[in-house]
Structure 1
Amino acid sequence: MKLIKALNNNVAFVQNDDKKEQVVMGKGVAFNVKPGNSIDASLVEKRFILDSEGIKKDFDSLLKRISISDIELASNIIKKGEERLGYHCNDIILLTLSDHLSMMLQRAEQGLYFTNPLEWDIKLIYPEEYKFAKNVVADLNEKTGHKIPNQEAAFIALHFINSNFEHSEMQETIMCTKIIQNILNITKLYYGKEFSEENFDVKRFITHIRFFVKRQIQGDRLNMDYSLAETILEKCQKDFKCSKKIAQFLKQTYDWDISQGEMLFLTLHLNRMNMN
């Protein structure tokens, strides 16, 4: 791994053994290393591959408007997030989160904040990501002395959620969150009651529809033992009608054709949730 350019002692552009350019980070990783010389790989704590000309240009553009400290801050948050959430974030998150944190801290100095219309949805549908992001905001407030509101946690959580969806854009992640919320609303209206987000079966249902929506977006198929279909339909008629309403909404709104397997799994989760 050879040094191309040291951005500071802890951040550097390098070329790896496969001739791909990377941004590497680690304490002292570029200290006293000259361009063209090898760096000590044992000092690398985090690396991000710049695997296209577009990403390289985006990173160069980013360096012109934000500080290296913001990039280091984002890298540290990404590292903690991967450890606590069990994620393997895609490399583009370094650019998007660095840019967001830089603008957020600039706004904080001016006392300007934005509300996030998806805050409640993210808190409900992605509780672990939201909880982690709230801790990030609390840490930033302690370190900077700013009063960054919890609304920012929803924005930070979105970056992690998006990075965990392969080949997806932020708009697709936002669309996915809205679809999930619409499914929850249909369910509440159909059964005529609210469901506690702390209930185990409710949490399982939300997790199921998160992956259900992800499968629809990516065009994946769900395999199921259809010999169980008759039994499920006989015992869960009311719940199957709810799953049909959800399928009709998705067909009318997104032109999605929901398979029988998906309908049956959805019915089972609805039944468990409604029994409590």
Structure 2
Amino acid sequence: MIIKKVFNNNVVLVVDSQGIESILMGKGIGFQKFPKDAIDESLIEKRFDFNSGDGNIGKFSELFSHIPEEDIRLADEIIQFAESELQQKLNQNVLATLSDHISYMLQRAKDDAFLKSPLQWEIQQLYPKEYQVSLQALKIIQEKTGISFLKSEAASIALHFVNAQVESDGMEETVLCTDIIGKILDIMFYHYQIEIEKDSFNYTRFITHLRYFVKRQMAGNVMETDNVLLDTVKVKYDNDYACALRIKDFLKEKYRWIVSSDEMLYLTLHIHRVTSRTLS
């Protein structure tokens, strides 16, 4: 592998014989090195590969050029911890977004500017595992930097983990999706006047359904079919269908979304499944 760019003593951009570009991290890997020099592969600690023409190489190049290396390593440690706890491999782009977030958090801390996410309640309710991991992330940050953060900061970190687990157009989409799901749950609460059991498997499955339901709506993937089964479900689960209608009317009024018969069918069935245990 040949060096294309040296970011600092410990981070370099290289290219291999097939033209694949990679960013390498390792102690001293870039020390006294220049473009076109060969790399000592024994010094590689972390490697990020990019496909030809992948725009993400630019994100990482900017990341390593402007964010302190210790913040990047801290983010990487937290990501490894999160992958272990969540038992899921996260999209490698999370290193760029989380490093930037942590670096900004530490800068704000110097000015005593601690922020509270407006979606903290929704994030705690919708993504409890990610939120708990993020609380542990705050402890890791405190151990490494000596800076203590409010628990409210964990909500923003949790969104990075959520965003890195699903195909997404970015953090803005994840935030909007979280806000909409929170409003849907509010409609269900007022309809049934109950608190849904959030530790159940049905709840986890329901949130997953809502997440992809909202993403389909945001992408404009609306398919209207003549679904005969919906007529049966309307009668059998009339109260659940009435709740689904409330959600449909809200989405149409607020976002001008059209909820198809297929979507209404599955939404009604999922609502029934997640509320029937609580109501029984």
| Fold-level similarity (TM above 0.5) | yes
1:256 aligns to what? 257
The amino acid across from 1:106 in the alignment is Q
The alpha-carbon deviation at position 255 of structure 1 amounts to 1.7
Q: Is the 8 A contact 1:28 1:43 kept in 2?
A: no
Distance 2:148 2:246 in 1: 44
| Kept in 1: contact 2:7–2:65 (CA 8 A) | no
d(CA) in 2 for partners of 1:255, 1:107: 38
Correspondence list, 1:193-232, <5 A: 193-220=194-221, 226=227, 228-232=229-233
Distance 1:52 1:68, change over 3 A: farther
Give the C-alpha shift of residue 161 in structure 1: 2.2
The offset of 1:47, in angstroms, is 0.9
Q: How far apart are 1:251 and its partner, in Å?
A: 1.4
Find the counterpart in structure 2 of residue 189 from structure 1: 190
In structure 2, the partner of 1:166 is 167
Q: CA–CA distance in 2 between the matches of 1:254 and 1:208?
A: 19
Displacement after TM superposition at 1:177 (Å): 0.8
Give the match for residue 41 of structure 2: 40
Offset of 1:185 from its aligned partner? 0.7
> 1-side partners of 2:82 and 2:2: how far apart?
28
Indicate the residue corresponding to 2:90 in structure 1. Answer: 88
Are 1:133 and 2:134 matched, yes or no? yes
- Structure 1 range deviating more: 219-228 or 183-192: 219-228
Establish whether residue 108 from structure 1 lines up as the match of residue 113 from structure 2: no
Query: 1:10, 1:29 within 8 Å by CA — same for their partners in 2?
Result: yes
| Identity %, equivalent residues | 39
In 2, are the aligned partners of 1:10 and 1:28 still within 8 Å (CA)? yes
How far residue 209 of structure 1 moved from its aligned partner, in angstroms, is 0.9
Amino acid at match of 2:236: K
Partner of 2:4: 4
Gaps of 5+ in 1: none
Q: Relative to structure 1, is the Cα distance of residues 48 and 181 closer, same or farther in structure 2, using a 3 angstrom cutoff?
A: farther
**AA aligned opposite 2:240:** D
Q: Distance in 1 between matches of 2:52 and 2:220?
A: 25
Q: Distance in 2 between matches of 1:51 and 1:140?
A: 35
Structure 2 Cα separation of the partners of residues 222 and 76 of structure 1: 43
TM-score (norm 2): 0.83
1:49 aligns with 2:50: yes
Q: Tell me the CA shift for residue 220 of structure 1.
A: 4.3
Judge conservation of contact 2:97–2:160 (CA < 8 Å) in 1: yes
Give the Cα separation in 2 of the matches to 1:28 and 1:82. 27
Q: Cα offset for 1:157? A: 1.4
Aligned-partner Cα distance in 2 for 1:57–1:242: 46
From the superposition, tell whether residues 215 and 53 of structure 1 become closer, same or farther in structure 2 (CA, over 3 Å).
Answer: closer
Deviations 1:159-194 (A, max 9, x none): 222333435132221111111011001111111222
Q: Is the 8 A contact 1:109 1:146 kept in 2?
A: no
CA shift, 1:48, in A, is 5.4
- What letter corresponds to residue 14 of structure 2 in structure 1? V
Give the superposition deviation at 1:274: 2.2
Task: State the one-letter code of the partner of 1:7.
Answer: F
> CA–CA distance in 2 between the matches of 1:224 and 1:83?
42
Measured at CA, do residues 269 and 136 of structure 1 come closer, stay the same or move farther in structure 2, by a change above 3 Å? Answer: same
Q: Distance in 1 between matches of 2:221 and 2:45?
A: 36
Give the TM-score normalised by the residue count of structure 1. Answer: 0.84
Against the structure 1 CA distance between its residues 64 and 41, is the aligned structure 2 distance closer, same or farther, given a 3 Å change threshold?
Answer: closer
Q: 1:53 to 1:210 in 2, by over 3 A?
A: closer
Q: Aligned with 2:167: secondary structure?
A: coil
Which stretch has the larger CA shift, 52-61 or 226-235? 52-61
Looking at structure 2, the residues matched to 164 and 114 of structure 1 have their Cα atoms a distance apart, in angstroms, of: 24
Preserved contact between residue 72 and residue 99 of structure 2 (Cα < 8 Å): yes
Q: 2:157 is aligned with what amino acid?
A: I
Q: Counterpart of 1:206 in 2: which secondary structure?
A: helix
On the 8 A contact 1:21/1:50 being kept in 2, the answer is yes
